[in-house]
Amino acid sequence: MATQADVPDLVTLIESAYRGEASRAGWTTEADILDGQRTDPDMVEALVHDPASRLILAEADGVLAACCQLEKRDGHAYFGTFAVRPGLQGGGLGRRVLAEAERQARDEWDAAEMRMTVITAREELIAWYVRRGYVRTGELSPFPYGDDRFGRPKRDDLEFEVLVKKLR
């Protein structure tokens, strides 16, 4: 699990997986739909210190390679802040991190299901989750336009969809 000392490396990892030219080395980039930041030190620090949350870390050759957030909610776990270093994407690390997050949610928190939100424009990413057993719910929520903490949209049709997977 992440600690305060991990915050700078986590911010760098998350940004590299989603924003800017470096993110284009992987397939999870949001560079075509969003500019600006994906996260910042304050946001990551809040996750590290939230008692209902944990950040799971994965290393490769002693370097932070992937992370995800689990949040304990009423009867389910929420999965987010998922990032894999762009040069390591496509090699199975993300699949292993997701499986470990599901295991922890089920076995340590007794969560009946895992939920997440994904930008609907990210069809390839949604398809990746569907192949791992997640179901599209059709439940939509608006993108936080005007809140630069989450990036600056390049399009006006962004929204989130809830995906769910039964864990038991």
- Which pLDDT belongs to residue 101? 98
CA proximity to 36, closest of 161, 145, 126? 145
Token pair, residue 114, equals: 């895992």
- Which pLDDT belongs to residue 22? 85
The low-confidence residues of the chain, meaning pLDDT below 50, are: none
- Which pLDDT belongs to residue 8? 97
Cα separation, 80 vs 89, in Å, equals 17
